[in-house]
Amino acid sequence: MKRQYTFSLFVAMFLILAGAVIAGSGKSGNASMAPAIGATVEDFTLPDTDGKSHSLSSLKGKNGAVVIFISVQCPISNAYNERMAKLAEDYGARGISVIGINSNKSESADVVKAHAAEKHLTFTILKDPGNKIADLLGAQHTPEAYYLDTNNKLLYHGRIDNSTDTAKVESNDLRDALDSALAGKPIQKTTSLAFGCSIKRV
If we measure between CA atoms, which residue out of 61, 162, 175, 74 comes closest to residue 119?
Answer: 74
Round the average pLDDT of the chain to a whole number and report it. Answer: 88
Residue 145 to residues 110, 148, 180, Cα–Cα distance (Å):
23, 10, 16
> What CATH architecture is 35-198?
3-Layer(aba) Sandwich (3.40)
If we measure between CA atoms, which residue out of 168, 151, 152, 169 comes closest to residue 160?
Answer: 169
pLDDT of the residue at 14:
38
If we measure between CA atoms, which residue out of 69, 64, 13 comes closest to residue 40?
Answer: 64
For residue range 125-177, list pLDDT tens digits in order. 999 999 999 999 999 999 999 999 999 999 999 999 999 999 999 999 999 99
Write down the pTM of the prediction. Answer: 0.85
d(Cα 135, Cα 29) in Å, to the nearest integer?
A: 11
Indicate the residue type of 183.
A
For residue range 89-126, list pLDDT tens digits in order. 999 999 999 999 999 999 999 999 999 999 999 999 99
For residue range 1-32, list pLDDT tens digits in order. 444 443 443 333 333 333 333 233 333 333 46
